[in-house]
Amino acid sequence: MGGDESGSNPDHIPVLLDEVLKNLVQAKAGTYVDATFGRGGHSRALLRALDTHARVVTIDRDPTAVAAAQTLAAQDTRLSVLQGRFSQMTDLLEAHTPVQGVLMDLGVSSPQLDTPERGFSFRAAGPLDMRMNPEEGESAAEWLNRAQEAEIATVLKEFGEERFARRIAKAIVAARPFEDTLALADVVAAAVPGRGQPGKHPATRTFQAVRIFINEEMQELDQGLQAAFAALAPAGRLAVISFHSLEDRAVKQLFRRLTQPPALPRRVPVRHSEMSSPAEHIAGPVRATAAECAANPRARSATLRVIAKKALPSQEVHN
């Protein structure tokens, strides 16, 4: 997986691979989940790291990724392939739980970015689609061509943290209808004063925001984190790689709640030190080394966080 277009790298390299294996795999047997197959770099590494009795369950909502995973599964029977969203993880993993580890590699995958026909990239001409599963829901073009200016501005501000959201939304409404990625990128670039942040394409935040909205990524992340933690066996680990501040903030906040004792009302005769949290912090924030960033520019924005479920009675994850 990879989260942005800060570099072009046709040969996919899974980000933070050594750090993921070091912090996620604590037992060579058991079941591990790669909740975003992408091009399969992390799944292949897990299969290499585990013994012959282990299992890797991989999930992806993208039919192309599922087909690639099925090809790998035909070569290694330890791999099981499931198609679905993060929010469906509880049902998808029902026959496999509890598991020893779950990896969630967030954002858009390298194959999606590198295939112009998928419409994720502002660097290559393609249909303005952006759906992780092209068989589900509304495309980016369909939404942008019908949405109110205020709605577009809200999406750009909330999911892209775009300073010029209103200006860009106004330009989009004036220039539509859109069918092509480059047409949208050009309109956005022209609307951003001074052509935006040096070294960063002015359409970066807009494309990120529209993609997140179209795929309901933040809602999926919230439900997926909770489902993944619930699926863990005692001492099982949850590792999450995020690529932008919105994702990382959501992961950080939930992990903080899970690794801290619950808040108690005042005057309750229980000391805070006597309370226990459902999880413990293992690692993070872990970021790519300079050497990895040089080899794989998409790793520059990656952040890894890892927690482990404590050997306690089952506890519900609360928002």
Tens digit of pLDDT for each residue in 151-189?
999 999 999 999 999 999 999 999 999 999 999 999 999
Residue 88 clears pLDDT 90, i.e. is over it: yes
E strand map for the chain? 31-34, 55-60, 79-83, 99-105, 232-242, 279-287, 303-309
Q: Which two tokens stand for residue 165?
A: 């959201």
Lowest mean pLDDT among 2-6, 73-77, 253-257: 2-6
The rounded distance, in Å, linking the Cα atoms of 291 and 176 is: 43
Q: DSSP labels for 134-163?
A: TTSS--HHHHHTTS-HHHHHHHHHHHH--T
pTM of full prediction above 0.85: yes
Tell me whether domains 17-110+217-263+272-309 and 123-215 share a fold: no
Residues in CB range of 126: below 8 A, 6 or more apart = 115, 116, 117, 118, 119, 180, 181
The rounded distance, in Å, linking the Cα atoms of 18 and 245 is: 23
The rounded distance, in Å, linking the Cα atoms of 176 and 34 is: 39
Closest CA to 218 of 87, 113, 83: 87
User: In the CATH scheme, what architecture does the domain 123-215 have?
Assistant: Orthogonal Bundle (1.10)
Question: What is the CATH topology of the domain spanning 17-110+217-263+272-309?
Answer: Rossmann fold (3.40.50)
Q: DSSP labels for 225-283?
A: HHHHHHHEEEEEEEEEEE-SHHHHHHHHHHHHHHHSPPP--TT-SS-GGG---SEEEEE
Task: Give residue 267's pLDDT.
Answer: 62
pLDDT, tens only, 123-147: 989 999 999 999 999 999 999 999 9
Domain boundaries, the chain: 17-110+217-263+272-309, 123-215
Tell whether the torsion through CA atoms of 46, 52, 53 and 58 is positive or negative.
positive
pLDDT band at 315 (very low <50, low <70, confident <90, very high): very low
**Half-sphere exposure for 1 (CA within 13 Å, toward CB):** 28
Closest CA to 298 of 106, 67, 40: 106
Residue 312 clears pLDDT 80, i.e. is over it: no
Distances from the Cα of 3 to the Cα of 121, 132, 188, 303, 312, angstroms: 11, 13, 20, 10, 35
Task: Give residue 39's pLDDT.
Answer: 87
